[in-house]
Amino acid sequence: IRVTLATRIPPERCRRLNLGYLDPDTINFAEWQHREAEGILFVPKAGEMLYRLKPNGNDQG
């Protein structure tokens, strides 16, 4: 699975986390919508609310 973020998070930080980066200012949303058959999922406003989980002391990773 390859995950690419269109975000204001710096590209270098995305790469450190093994995430792809896409400049959000370059996106034409119509090009990405309705392409599920190609394995592309368009999630509008997916990053509106992001959460950082606190460690619970039971880290298995």
- Split into its structural domains, the chain has a count of 1
pLDDT at 60: 54
| pLDDT greater than 70 at residue 6 | yes
The answer to whether position 41 is within a domain reads yes
Per-residue DSSP letter, 27: -
The answer to whether position 59 is within a domain reads no
Number of neighbouring beta carbons within 10 Å of residue 6: 17
- Per-residue pLDDT band at 47 (split at 50, 70, 90): confident
What pTM was estimated for this model as a whole?
Answer: 0.56
The answer to whether position 6 is within a domain reads yes
The answer to whether position 10 is within a domain reads yes
| Proportion of the chain above pLDDT 90, given as a percent | 54
Q: Which helix (H) or strand (E) holds 22?
A: strand 20-22
Host domain of residue 17: 1-54
Q: Which of 30, 21, 16 minimizes the C-alpha distance to 2? A: 21
The answer to whether position 38 is within a domain reads yes
Report in angstroms the alpha-carbon separations of 15 from 32, 41, 61.
22, 20, 20
Instruction: Specify the higher pLDDT residue, 43 or 17.
Output: 17
Q: What is the pLDDT of residues 14-41, one digit of tens each?
A: 999 999 999 999 999 999 999 999 999 9
